[in-house]
Amino acid sequence: MGGSFDPIHLGHLIVAERAREALGADRVLFIPCNIPPHKDAAGLTSGRHRLRMIELAAAGNPRFRASDIELRRGGVSYTVETIEELRNLHGRGAKLWFIIGADSLRELTTWRDYRRLLRLCTVVTAGRPGVALDRWRGARGAFGGREIARLKKHFLDAPLIGISSSEIRRRRQAGMSIRYLVPPAVERYIAAHGLYGGAAERGRVRCRAARTR
């Protein structure tokens, strides 16, 4: 499961657990990107912080793992390169699934070497609030018949959780609570490091740092 995870939230965890259960997967890897190819990287929280928040969020589930594969590789993070690396690591006999949202599925044809990606792994699509699964038909013209059949076969019946990382960042900027949107350990980490805070929060962090010198 890839993405910015800026920050990881309960919606990610719920979809990951539902996918793991439905697919019978041994484990789910959460892979934070280094530089996203389709998003503005300005303001992206450091990979160190994002990876640590994933580790904290995954700590209670032995089948969840944080992976720094894209952070270590550096540069722009292309999913096909990550899947190729995982395929080489685990061998051709390993089953690899890649979990995406229905909104991302509509954009899949714009991804680097997306046809090769579809050959290397099975793409599993989870629904997202406000994005009905049948709306992906807008991109179907670019897919071949076999690709359409495979994509249609692997829609995940996941609960639609109306949580987004951008909402969490906005709430932090506004000084609002993010409780019940992220795991408690992640909430504490965000507060301790002053992540996503407005000017007032950054000032408090600087004051705390000054007092500890």
- What are the domain boundaries of the chain? 2-161
* Residue ranges in the chain modelled with pLDDT below 70: 128-142, 144-145, 148-149, 159-160, 198-213
With contact defined as beta carbons under 8 Å apart, do 171 and 177 qualify?
Answer: yes
- The fourth-level CATH superfamily of domain 2-161 is HUPs (3.40.50.620)
**How many angstroms separate the CA atoms of 3 and 9, rounded?**
12
pTM for the full model? 0.85
